[in-house]
Structures are given as C-alpha cells and as structure tokens.
Structure 1
Amino acid sequence: MLRQRVLTAIPLVMLVLAVIWLLPGVWLQGLFAVAALIAAWEWAGLSGFDGRLGRLGYVVVLAAVLAVLAASDAAASQIWLIPGLLWWLAVAVWVLAQARRGHCYRLPFWLPAVAGLITLALAWLGIVAIHSLPVSGPFWVTLLMALVWGADIGGYFAGRRFGRHKLAPAISPGKTWEGVAGGLLLGLLLALLLQQVGAATLSGLPGLGWLLPVATMVISLSVIGDLAESVLKRQADRKDSGQLLPGHGGMLDRIDALLAAAPVMAAALMRVG
C-alpha cells in the first residue's frame, strides 16, 4: 500500500508544482476546477446520489457555479474570505461535536449536497486567490501544498509508529493525536524551510511571528477537512470516496484536507502581497 501511494503521489506532486510555477494562472484555475468536478462526482455518491444521472447533475451545478465565479473574477474580491473562514470554523465545531458524542449524527439528504457545493467552490476560490497574489502567489500556493502534504505524510508515519490515543474514533478510527502532532511538526518544518528559501528570493514576506501561527491554523483546519469527509464516508458506509488514485482512493480522499486549508490560507493572506 505504501509503495503504491508513493508511486501515485510523486507524479501528482510534480504535475501540481509544474502548473503552479510554469504555467499561466488560467491553467491552475482549470486544473483545480477539474479536480473539484471529479471530487463533486464522488461527493454526490457519498451524499446519496446513487444514479449516474443524479451525480452528473450535481457536477453540472458545480461547473455552473465555478463558471460564474470565474467570469465575475470573484477570487479577486475579498467579500467571500470571511464567510469562507466562518464556514470552516462552523464545520470544525460540528465535527468536534460529532467526535465528542461518540457517534455520527445522520444528516438529512439535502445538507451534504449543499455543503459540498459550498466547500468545493470555496476551495477553488481560495486556490485561485492565493495564486493571483502579485509576484508571491506561486510561493504561497507551494507553501499551502507543503503544509497539507506535510501534515498528511507526518500524520501517516507518526500515527503508525507512535499512535496510541484516538483522535475521533467515532469518525475516523485510524487517526490519533500522535499522528496529528507528527503532521503538525513536519508541516511546520517544511514551512520554516520554504520561508528561508522565499526570503532569499522574494521581498516583503512576513516573518516567523506571522508564519508559525498561520501554518498551525492551516494544518489544524486541514485535519478538520479530513475528518469532515470521513463523516460523509461513514454515513455512506464507504472506505474511500472512489478508486481514481491507486493507493489513495478517490480525488476527494486526496484533496479533503486542502478543501479546508485553501480558504483559511487565503483569509490569512488578505493583507499579504
């Protein structure tokens, strides 16, 4: 399993970094729109859309939403940033409440469907807004990816080696507090490394007094994004959202943490150029 995960992850990472640094912003918008639409297909399946026609309709609705956002250049506006941050804080409260009660409250059919459209649209807006920052946009998207990937990799290995105390057994039995700590540590180390590289090539980057608390917040919310998808999978009695990516599951399994991290990072960067 680990070997398959690595073999799948390496070309994906190279593709994402190439799009971030080498191609015009419209390519990044398109790539993440495609990823969001694939994730929407999977989200629809987890939300109770069993037929292909219903799932396709759900994807078409999200495609229309993203098209309107792109045409109106909504990512350049700051009006959605605070609502996006509040959305994920509300999701965090809900997820923690599910974990505390010891079982997952079954959601009405319509709520996961609406939540999926909001979540995927906010994530797309976050990625596009961050990448659009003058000069430093690609750096910040790279840092965002490093935080999410670092939290995932560190959490995986620390959890397997040291995991003893369950994080949210009613939601995701495999996750542990030790894994969260390992993911946080690796994510912060990567942030420090990239900050040093960025400081040598870019001017005006904020210092460690800004970076460390923001990175901690982004990593923490990425864990919430992971757990939120786990709630959907548990209600649908599914282990993975799909089988698109060998060793990882579906697209939604791969980007669940990013869905929360992107709008949170964008909100933190409101005043950073």
Structure 2
Amino acid sequence: MSRRQRVTTALLLAPLPVLALLLLPTPWLAALVAAVLLAGLWEWTAFAGLSDTLPRIAFLAANALLIAALAWGAGPSLFPLKLLALLGVLWWLAVVLWVLHPGFADGEGQGAGALKLLAGSLAVVPAWCALVWLHAGELGPRWALFAIALVWAADSGAYFAGSKFGRRKLAPAVSPNKSWEGVWGGLTACALLAVLGFGLLGLGWRQLPALVLLVLLAAVASVVGDLLESLMKRHSGLKDSGRIFPGHGGVMDRLDSLLAALPVFAVGKAWLGL
C-alpha cells in the first residue's frame, strides 16, 4: 500500500468518528460503535478459521446479544460496563504473554479456533464498554474523542519514527516491520497530545502529569493490540483483515490498537481520578 493512499483514506474517514463522538447522544453512539465493532468481529472470525456463513453469523449474534444485554442492564452507574472494561485490561495483560510466545495456539484445531474466537470477544466487548463509559461521563464526548486521538497520535508517531529511524525490531516473530524507535515515536506524540489538550478536558496543570501517565499507558496498550492482530494474521496466513478501506485493509486493521487502548484508558482515568 502507498503512503499517499493511506493518508488520503485517513483524511476522508477522520471527520466521521469525530462528528459522531461530539454530536451523537451516548445511546446512539453506543449503537453505532457496536455496529462497527461487530463488523470488525466478523473479519476476526477468519483468523479463527471460520469460513462457513452460519457459524460466523451465530458467533456475531452471540456477541451482539451480549452487548445489547450490557446496554440494557447498565443502569445509571454503568457498573457492568466498568466491570467488563476492567476485564479487558486484565485480558490485554494476558495478551502480552501470548505475544511473547507467538507459537501458542498456532494451529487449525478446534481448541485453537475457539481460543481465537474468545480472544475476539475479549477484545471487542470491553472496548465497547470502555468507550460508552467514557462518553457518558462529564465532558464525555471530549474524553472519548481524546482517547481516539491518542491512538491516532501513537500510530502516526510510530509510523513516521519507525520509517525514518527504525533499527531495532520490536517483535520480529510477530510483526517484522515494527521497531522500538517507532514505539518511542508514538509515545512522544501521545505525550505531546496530552500537553496540548489537557485544558480542553477540564484539567489543570497539577493534573497534567497524571494525564501524561494515562496516555502513555494507553499508548503502550495500543501497541499490544496491534501486535495481537498481527499475530492472528500470521497464524491464519492473512495479510489484511479485509479490503474495505483502500490502503488500510479491513475494519479490524483500523480498530486493533483502539481495542486495547480504550479499556486501559477508561480504567486508568478512573484509577487516577481524572
């Protein structure tokens, strides 16, 4: 894919999530985000070796029902959503171990396929919970947009720093193109975003260090999310999750980093008292 194609697609698509996050009421946003995430989950079924339409629809329906049940039973406290977001944080910590042992579940057996389907659900459902939790809070649309923006900043910083300075491979057995220099570039971009944007989030200077810590944790998580999808593609022999976005692949290729960053960001925001 060419850099021009990537940039053109990104510029055309970027206004849509921004407008949705800022203008839609939380229930409408929750429904829209659920639809997008379920589209990504449909692509994920290919990682698990599902090719027949009926099992793929059944898996998608089960996740849709779970999301609907969470939305129905959330209540004003949003406790179920917060609990699932915390579960998501624990899941991504476990994913680190999986990335360090990339041969785990690399096979076509039913056990490996079932684990990868579970991995898809554990990636998608907590991310939905986290975004709805963020959007429903005080200055929620701004916080939700900031969470999305920090992942964009991390991806962009990593892409440009990695392209220019990348020497030391991050995880060559999983994603040979990713470098430690790219990681540092992404973290730097996120820290800069925190410095530029903390006032818009209703925060003061004293809260800036906590915000920087939060964005750095979420940025690190976004790298783990990216690596997990790369691992799934390597296991399945797929280059992209789909072809819906020119230069960017499928829906899941655009969501992988967000799926990990959102639960970490939402839980971390609550933990740090921001």
Report the CA distance between 1:152 and its aligned residue. Answer: 0.5
Unaligned runs of 5+ in 1: none
CA 1:179–1:73 in 2, change beyond 3 Å: closer, same or farther?
same
Counterpart residue number, 1:57: 58
Report the CA distance between 1:105 and its aligned residue. Answer: 5.1
Equivalences for residues 157-196 of structure 1 within 5 A: 157-196=160-199
Which one-letter code corresponds to 1:170 in the other structure?
A
Report the CA distance between 1:215 and its aligned residue. Answer: 0.9
Match for 1:89 among 67, 89, 93? 93
For the residues of structure 2 that align with 1:170 and 1:195, how far apart are their CA atoms?
37
For the residues of structure 2 that align with 1:113 and 1:242, how far apart are their CA atoms?
17
Match for 2:141 among 138, 142, 154? 138
Report the CA distance between 1:88 and its aligned residue. Answer: 1.3
Counterpart residue number, 1:217: 217
For the residues of structure 1 that align with 2:56 and 2:206, how far apart are their CA atoms?
43
For the residues of structure 2 that align with 1:61 and 1:205, how far apart are their CA atoms?
45
Counterpart residue number, 2:34: 33
Counterpart residue number, 1:10: 11
Report the CA distance between 1:127 and its aligned residue. Answer: 0.6
CA 1:10–1:204 in 2, change beyond 3 Å: closer, same or farther?
same
Report the CA distance between 1:244 and its aligned residue. Answer: 0.9
Q: Identity percentage over the alignment?
A: 42
Give the ranges of 4+ consecutive aligned residues of structure 1 lying more than 6 Å apart after TM superposition.
Answer: none
Contact kept in structure 1, 2:98 and 2:104, CA below 8 Å: no
Counterpart residue number, 1:257: 257
How big is each residue's C-alpha offset from its partner over 1:151-208, in whole Å with a ceiling of 9 and x where there is no partner?
111111111111111110100011111111111111211121111343xxx3679712
Contact kept in structure 2, 1:104 and 1:171, CA below 8 Å: no
Structure 1 counterpart SS, 2:153: helix
Structure 1 counterpart SS, 2:177: strand
Contact kept in structure 2, 1:92 and 1:221, CA below 8 Å: no
For the residues of structure 2 that align with 1:143 and 1:226, how far apart are their CA atoms?
19
For the residues of structure 2 that align with 1:168 and 1:93, how far apart are their CA atoms?
12
Aligned residue pairs, count: 265
Contact kept in structure 1, 2:87 and 2:126, CA below 8 Å: no
For the residues of structure 2 that align with 1:187 and 1:204, how far apart are their CA atoms?
18
Q: TM-score, normalised by structure 2?
A: 0.91
Counterpart residue number, 1:149: 152
For the residues of structure 2 that align with 1:176 and 1:97, how far apart are their CA atoms?
18
Unaligned runs of 5+ in 2: none
Counterpart residue number, 2:68: 67
Contact kept in structure 2, 1:19 and 1:27, CA below 8 Å: no
